[in-house]
Amino acid sequence: MMTHIQFINLVLVGIFGMVLSAAFCDIFWTREKVFAMWGGAAAILLFQGIIYFGGIDFGMMGKLYPLITHVPLAALLCVLNRKCLWPVISVLTAYLCCQLRRWLGLLITAAFSGGLVMNNIAELAVTLPILLILIRFIAPNVRFISHYPISLQLQFGLVPAFYYGFDYLTRIYTDLLLKGNLVAVEFMPFVCSAAYLFFLVRISKEGRVRSQLEQTREILNLQVGQAVREIAALRDSQEKTTTYRHDMRHHMQYLSSCMENGQIRKAQDYIQEIYSKIESNKVMLFCENEAANLIFSAFSRRAGGSGILMQVKARVPQLIRVSETDLCVLLSNGLENALHACQEQRKKGRAGVIEVSIYEKNGKLFLQITNSCDKDIVFDNKIPVANRAGHGIGIRSICAIVEQYGGIYSFSAGEGQFILRVSI
Calculate the CA dihedral of residues 7, 13, 16, 18 and round it to 10 degrees: -80
Least confident piece of the model among 91-95, 328-332, 372-376, 391-395: 391-395
Would you say 309 and 216 are in contact if contact means Cβ atoms under 8 Å apart? no
Residue scoring higher pLDDT (257 or 50):
50
Q: Give the pLDDT score at 39.
A: 95
Would you say 255 and 271 are in contact if contact means Cβ atoms under 8 Å apart? yes
Residue scoring higher pLDDT (172 or 204):
172
Contacts of 16 (CB under 8 A, 6+ apart): 94, 98, 101, 127, 130, 131
Q: Give the pLDDT score at 388.
A: 61
Contacts of 274 (CB under 8 A, 6+ apart): 244, 251
Kindly report, residue by residue over 64-120, the tens digit of the pLDDT. 999 999 999 999 999 999 999 999 999 999 999 999 999 999 999 999 988 889 999
Least confident piece of the model among 213-217, 275-279, 364-368, 372-376: 275-279
Report helix, strand or coil for 235: helix
Q: Give the pLDDT score at 85.
A: 94
Angstrom distance (rounded) from CA 21 to CA 25: 6
Would you say 401 and 330 are in contact if contact means Cβ atoms under 8 Å apart? yes
Q: What is the mean pLDDT of the chain?
A: 84
Spell out the domain ranges in the chain. Answer: 4-148
Q: What is the mean pLDDT of residues 373-384?
A: 83
- pLDDT above 90 covers a percentage of the chain that reads 40
Would you say residue 218 has pLDDT above 80? no
Contacts of 266 (CB under 8 A, 6+ apart): 258
Kindly report, residue by residue over 143-193, the tens digit of the pLDDT. 999 988 898 899 899 999 999 999 999 999 998 888 888 888 888 888 888
Q: What is the mean pLDDT of residues 4-26?
A: 91
Q: Give the pLDDT score at 275.
A: 59
Strand partners, 314: 358
Q: Give the pLDDT score at 231.
A: 65
CA distances from 175 to 2, 178, 366 (A): 19, 5, 69
Q: Give the pLDDT score at 244.
A: 57
Would you say residue 279 has pLDDT above 60? no
